[in-house]
Copies of this chain bind each other. A is one copy, B any other.
Amino acid sequence: MRVTVSRRAHFNAAHRLYRKDWTDEKNNAVFGKCNNPNFHGHNYELIASVTGDIDPETGYVIDMKILKDIIKEEVEDAFDHKNLNIDVKEFENLNPTAENIVVVIYNKMKAKLESHLDLEVTLYETPRNFVSYSGE
């Protein structure tokens, strides 16, 4: 019986979409107002979904406290109240689009989960725009 267990979390961050190796004109043409050099920001909402068998001893797929701690260490402590472009090393040379952020979060969290567990991460950049990634 494979059950998916999901936990919602959130962090606030500033970011800017642009590539250092492009001209201002090209950055503006492609990224529009998301390229504001003074940054803008979001309340990111995250859903981490872990799939595995129910442990017949505990009735848990994963202890929610373990999942909460992984989210706290890998996502909240790393990204909350940060400027993604300046303060987070993963985005030093990677454009912090929602797509790239969700892949970074997936990779950080997957490395901390027991290997028999599957992971999907959904990231809301706004209540209207969101992305998801499951390592495929």
Residues of chain A touching chain B, judged by Cβ–Cβ distance below 8 Å, are: 1-10, 12-15, 17, 30, 32-34, 36, 38-43, 54, 58-61, 63-65, 80-83, 86-87, 94-100, 102-103, 126-133, 136
In the complex, the answer to whether B1 meets A103 with C-beta atoms within 8 Å is yes
In the complex, the answer to whether A5 meets B98 with C-beta atoms within 8 Å is yes
Dominant secondary structure of chain A at its interface with chain B = mixed
Number of chain copies forming the complex: 6
In the complex, the answer to whether A40 meets B81 with C-beta atoms within 8 Å is yes
| Chain B residues whose C-beta falls within 8 Å of the C-beta of A12 in the assembled complex | 40-42, 126
In the complex, the answer to whether A54 meets B99 with C-beta atoms within 8 Å is yes
Minimal beta-carbon separation of A74 from chain B (angstroms): 17
